[in-house]
Amino acid sequence: MTSTLKSLRALADPTRLRIVALLEGDELSVNELQEVTRLGQSRISTHLGLLADCALVTSRRDGKRTFYKLNPQADSVASEFIQLAIRGAKELAEHNSDQINLKRVLARRKEQAQVFFNQVAGRFDRVYGPGRSWQAFGHLLLRILPPLVVADLGAGEGLLSELLARRCKKVIAVDNSEKIVAFGAAKAKKNHLKNLEFRQGDLQNPPIDAGSVDLVILSQALHHAENPADALASAAKLLKPHGQILILDLLKHNFDKAHELYGDRWLGFAESDLHRWLEAAGFKKIEISIVAAEEQPPHFQTILAGAEK
């Protein structure tokens, strides 16, 4: 088969068009391509092998990782194919999400603190140490929080709100259930947490004054919102200038029973959707990462998103 026919065959697959477009500006590892596209590692490696066989991409080793980039020494025919592939990729439905995820992955490379955290988290589960637990670490970290005014939206019975109230200046816990709000308020009173206030309200219209809080938290709450984008826009209005939002939620999944079992409106979220909604709400310095993954079915993954107003 001639090189021209091999290239045409290689670029006949939409996934390979996506990969070529992602490599247009930066070299990427297989793991990074996997994170951007949400495709399996073996599948991506197979596609990269076909592209490399046509001399459209090249690779280099860096320790245990292999990085791929568009062939800088491609001849005129190969270069023309590459440009056609990039143009074709822009017509695919996945292109916008790919570019958002690529931006996030490249930004993370610069975050050495994130790399360090991943290394620590990886060691934590392998070696047992008496008295070491994420619960204990959580209490330790709470002690170094500044005295913030926090809005805990979709707070439920207020477990997180109670922890925060032991350190923060004020915590406003919002939930749409009258019974849960009454329960949380009674428990806060019992525990003498005078700086913890429960209010009944909706995620898309929280009963909190605009520009009055330093931090908004949505912990496993956004997937209950009727319109997540509107909920994030409303959260932005609550924040003071340079205030922050933190979102813990599930990565997009296919466990349909979550609707019935947990009352979830949404089956998690793609990172690209969260990024787009946060940008539309006026947030900056957006960071999104996977912070936990369950080993048992249905293998839920938890994402943490943070941004600044």
- Name the strand (E) or helix (H) holding 3: helix 3-10
pLDDT of 127 higher than 80: no
- In CATH, the architecture of 3-109 is Orthogonal Bundle (1.10)
Contact 21, 98 (CB under 8 A): yes
Q: What is residue 117's predicted lDDT score, i.e. its pLDDT?
A: 60
CATH topology of domain 132-308: Rossmann fold (3.40.50)
Polymer length of the chain: 309
- The DSSP string of 113-128 is HHHHHHHHHHHHTTS-
Pinpoint the alpha helices (H) of 94-227.
95-109, 112-124, 134-143, 159-165, 178-190
pLDDT digits (tens, 9 = 90+) for 231-266: 999 999 999 999 999 999 999 999 999 888 888 999
- For residue 252, the 8-state DSSP code is P
By mean pLDDT, which of 103-112, 212-221, 285-294 is the weakest? 103-112
* Burial call 101-135: b when 16+ CB within 10 Å, e when fewer: bbebbeeeeeeeeeeeeeeeeeeeeeeeeeeeeee
Read off the tokens for 193. Answer: 């947490």
- Give the pLDDT mean for 59-85: 88
Q: What is residue 118's predicted lDDT score, i.e. its pLDDT?
A: 61
Q: Which residue has the tokens 């787009």?
A: 276
- For residue 308, the 8-state DSSP code is E
pLDDT of 104 higher than 90: no
- What's the mean pLDDT when you consider all of the chain? 89
pLDDT of 141 higher than 80: no
Peptide bond into 297 cis (omega under 30): no
Tell me how far apart the alpha carbons of residues 196 and 194 are, in angstroms, rounded to a whole number.
6
Tell me how far apart the alpha carbons of residues 239 and 65 are, in angstroms, rounded to a whole number.
41
Q: How many other CB atoms are found less than 10 A from the CB of residue 181?
A: 21
What's the one-letter identity of residue 137? F
Binned at pLDDT 50, 70 and 90, residue 16 comes out as: very high
The ranges assigned to domains in the chain are 3-109, 132-308
Q: What is residue 145's predicted lDDT score, i.e. its pLDDT?
A: 80
What is the pairing mode between strands 65-70 and 28-29? antiparallel
φ, ψ for residue 285, nearest 5 deg: 50, 50
pLDDT of 154 higher than 90: yes
Q: How many other CB atoms are found less than 10 A from the CB of residue 5?
A: 10
Contact 199, 161 (CB under 8 A): no
pLDDT digits (tens, 9 = 90+) for 107-126: 877 665 555 566 555 555 55
End-to-end CA distance of the chain: 56
Read off the tokens for 175. Answer: 């939930």
